Amino acid sequence: MSTLYPVGLDLTGRRVVVTGGGSVAQRRVAGLLEVGADVHVVSPAVTTALEALASSREITWEQRTYAAGDLDGAWYCVAATDSTEVNAAVAAEAEAARVFCVRADSAEEGTAVTPAVGRYDDVTVGVIGGGDPRRAAGVRDGVVEALRTGTLADRRHRGDRNPGVTLVGGGPGDAGLITVKGRQALAQADVVVTDRLAPQALLDELPPDVTVIDASKLPRGRYMSQDTINAVLVDEALAGNRVVRLKGGDPFVFGRGYEEIQACAAAGVAVDVVPGVTSAISVPAFAGVPVTHRGITHEFVVVSGHLPPGHAQSLVDWAALGRLTGTIVLLMAVENLPHIAEALIDGGRDPETPAVAIQEGGLPGESTVRAPLAKLPSAIADAGLRPPAVVVIGPVADPSAFPPP
């Protein structure tokens, strides 16, 4: 096959003739209608789908065999009949009329080929496989899938760049647990504002010209204030950039995500949210701990433990939590766990309630400590377990508590 020159045709409103009415013609007609072509089908019989399109006047169907002159006024044609002779006649008329023609039965004898076509957003991918349709389809599928998942960068450099902020939940730390939409947002970012709990491996996949801003907060250590983070998001977006705020877990589960939305909205910056897999559920799952289970618990509560019981700014009713019998999931609670355990027990929770702490769930450094509630703080200290960690309190923390299936 000759080396082909790839080109995109604007067929909107232009006459395209398809000879033949079988499955190949049906597939070609679908693609032509998608780009707005004025499609004329010439064939004694057509598939049910093509007949329906003709009945709804989406295409014109000439119910007869091909005849010379059918290509008059055509910009493009497809010869897809079951007859080699008819297809050859169509191609010959097209050649004389200087109309590009695709021959479904013999690509080499046409003047054009139909590529394997895929679309993502406003990007069209067309692949010519050197005469091997399956090869072309495989490459096409790989490129479109990479665009959909964000593993192939899709950044606009001209036209409408849609500046603004996208709040992305990165999940509990494993780069594979970010959502497809989250990866897409990263692939289009000019600036990424991230923190230490976000999946760090994703940063290594960014193109070299993407600006990465570290907004990490270390417990009792260095940090970027929330007001500064808000200002960075707003300033970068107003400068015309597509900004991704990459956070660990889900932005709205103790992630101050809504504060960042409020700051953007107040400044007139467009902002949207891509939810993430929250560590409150996923990290226990990594350790084989379901936060609910039929016949064991009908409730679970997610609580921030960054302030100890009795703190003036704490909004948690620890006594009420102590009276619950279901699952309590604690985030950011390692340092205050001795006081939290005491408060829960004082509120009525059995000191022997099963409990587990999971450090860096789903990551290479994952570590698990199990002990009764009253003893869990000392067990954590003895094991040297450190934040970030998730604590689960309740019967679900005891594997032996589950009834047989």
Catalytic residues: 195, 217
β-partners of residue 78 are 18, 102
- Whole-angstrom distance, CA of residue 117 vs CA of residue 213: 38
Buried b (16+ CB within 10 A) or exposed e, 317-355: ebeebbebebbbbbbbbbbbbebbbbbbbebebeeebbb
- Asked whether the beta carbons of 163 and 242 are under 8 A apart, the reply is yes
- Whole-angstrom distance, CA of residue 197 vs CA of residue 284: 17
- Asked whether the beta carbons of 101 and 77 are under 8 A apart, the reply is yes
- Asked whether the beta carbons of 169 and 274 are under 8 A apart, the reply is yes
- Asked whether the beta carbons of 172 and 166 are under 8 A apart, the reply is no
